[in-house]
Amino acid sequence: MPLLMLGCLLVTIYQWLRLRSAPRNERIAYLSILALCWILAISLVINPKLPGPSQMVDVVFGPLGKLIDK
């Protein structure tokens, strides 16, 4: 887990240097997406049996796909 956190920190520092001149909205969007991904990564490291993002998409859009296939 420390390696995961270090990788996340390095990517954040690299991107933040590039986003320094970007509008405030882009920086907020970047930090929001980063926080969600970090929470998901830590959750999956702690409990690997949790469903991943692709399984969540299947649950949400599975019934829609069945309706379209008919």
SS3 track for 5-70: HHHHHHHHHHHHHHHCCCCHHHHHHHHHHHHHHHHHHHHHHHCCCCCCHHHHHHHHHHHHHHHHHC
What does the alpha-carbon distance between residue 58 and residue 47 come to, in Å, rounded to a whole number? 20
Task: Flag whether pLDDT at 22 surpasses 80.
Answer: yes
Q: For residue 4, what is the DSSP state?
A: H
What's the pLDDT tens digit per position in 27-62?
Answer: 899 889 888 888 888 888 888 888 877 887 888 888
**pTM for the predicted model, two decimal places:** 0.62
